[in-house]
């Protein structure tokens, strides 16, 4: 038990330490090359200026660097690659126990983390150099759909996943429809990336979610996957150290896309593959993300049906700001809810 605990904690501590160490370097370049929008503000879906958002956030967009997500995936990849290399050089030492890169559990989430990071980085780069015009949403959705379709096919044809688990009630057979289901899950999680809108908010929420799936993977004896999730938690906490108000930088797409796409694979791998309920548990563990997506959908639907807004501004966390909640209060309350949801999810995983 002690050995297992150390094998999970040490990579997490390593990724946190690496994140703390590389952040000054990353920050130096982000500020040196002025990696922020040159013109603040957003345009709403209807083509008009998003007045409420611009009132709340317009000015800060031209002062705070983007691409802070590099700290997260950079720390994870350095930890993953470093422990793997040390294990190869010293196969009969402690380093061999810390190597968590393998085909069965970590290669897929690690690959999606990297691919999501690269696509998100490209979007952020264009966002900066083209005056707030990153990759078109249609292009991003197409790339994500293509990646998710391939991964869905891999889960179905290579890993034999054809069902999703229902807590306390067995499995639901989807057959080949598991592929579009995975695509929809991935797109939903990607859409939830807009939770990266208040200093410290997304870091706390994602840290709680990945911490919960660390516990869920341990319960399922998927120890390498648990170590991967714990390593992500460590990296997020390093990012969060510098992202709490006032934020030194923002996560933006290179971080949120990496995390959401990787999370989709972790959720799937802790379902029937791990003889667990990873997908269903997302409804609890990922409640803040689900609420974020739902508020956007409800806002758009209500406006098209009635011509009015349901919320002052969507997503939901900005609505709370718009009605007068201080940003730090919104962040803290989301953190509390996220921690509670994570704890409840792990408890259910233990008894389901």
- Give residues with Cβ within 8 angstroms of 294, minimum separation 6: none
Report pLDDT digits (tens) over 298-327.
999 999 999 999 999 999 999 999 999 999
61: closest CA among 156, 128, 8, 5?
128
**Cross-strand partners of 163:** 173
Report pLDDT digits (tens) over 206-262.
999 999 999 999 999 999 999 999 999 999 999 999 999 889 999 999 999 999 999
* Residue where the block lists tokens 């190597």: 99
Choose between 58 and 36: higher pLDDT: 36
Distances (CA, A) of 275 to 103, 167, 170, 278, 349: 18, 11, 10, 9, 10
- Mean pLDDT, rounded, for 192-210: 96
Q: How many domains is the chain partitioned into structurally?
A: 1
The lowest-confidence range among 35-39, 53-57, 148-152, 164-168 is 53-57
Q: Domain limits at 234?
A: 2-351
- Mean pLDDT, rounded, for 69-98: 91
Distances (CA, A) of 63 to 23, 40, 234, 264: 18, 9, 27, 32
Report pLDDT digits (tens) over 90-109.
888 878 888 888 888 999 99
pLDDT of residue 170: 86
pLDDT of residue 44: 56
pLDDT of residue 168: 82
Q: Is the pTM of this model over 0.85?
A: yes
173 secondary structure, DSSP code? E
- Mean pLDDT, rounded, for 114-143: 91
């Amino acid at each position: 038990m002690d050995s297992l605990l150390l094998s999970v904690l040490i990579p997490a501590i390593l990724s946190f330490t690496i994140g703390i160490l590389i952040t000054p370097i990353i920050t130096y370049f982000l500020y040196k090359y002025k990696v922020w929008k040159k013109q603040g503000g957003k345009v709403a879906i209807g083509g008009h200026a998003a007045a409420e958002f611009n009132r709340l956030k317009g000015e800060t967009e031209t002062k705070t660097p983007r691409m802070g997500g590099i700290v997260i995936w950079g720390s994870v990849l350095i930890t993953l690659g470093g422990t793997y290399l040390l294990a190869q050089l010293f196969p009969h030492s402690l380093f061999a126990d810390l190597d968590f890169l393998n085909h069965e559990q970590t290669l897929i989430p690690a690959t999606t983390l990297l691919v999501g990071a690269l696509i998100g980085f490209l979007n952020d780069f264009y966002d900066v150099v083209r005056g707030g015009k990153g990759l078109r949403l249609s292009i991003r959705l197409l790339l994500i759909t293509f990646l998710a379709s391939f991964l869905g096919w891999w889960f179905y044809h290579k890993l034999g996943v054809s069902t999703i688990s229902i807590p306390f009630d067995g499995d639901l057979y989807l057959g080949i429809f598991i592929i579009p289901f995975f695509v929809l899950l991935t797109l939903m999680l990607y859409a939830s990336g807009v939770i990266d809108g208040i200093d410290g908010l997304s870091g706390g929420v994602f840290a709680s979610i990945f911490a919960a799936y660390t516990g869920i993977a341990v319960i399922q004896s998927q120890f390498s996957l648990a170590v991967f999730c714990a390593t992500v938690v460590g990296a997020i906490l390093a990012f969060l150290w510098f992202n709490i108000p006032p934020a030194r930088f923002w996560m933006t797409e290179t971080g949120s896309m990496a995390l959401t796409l990787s999370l989709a694979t972790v959720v799937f791998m802790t379902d029937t593959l791990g003889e667990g309920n990873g997908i269903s548990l997302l409804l609890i563990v990922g409640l803040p993300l689900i609420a974020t997506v739902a508020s956007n959908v409800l806002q758009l639907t209500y406006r098209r049906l009635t011509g009015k807004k349901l919320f002052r501004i969507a997503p939901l966390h900005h609505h709370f700001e718009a009605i007068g909640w201080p940003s730090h209060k919104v962040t803290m309350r989301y953190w509390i809810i996220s921690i509670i949801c994570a704890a409840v999810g792990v408890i259910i995983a233990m008894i389901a």
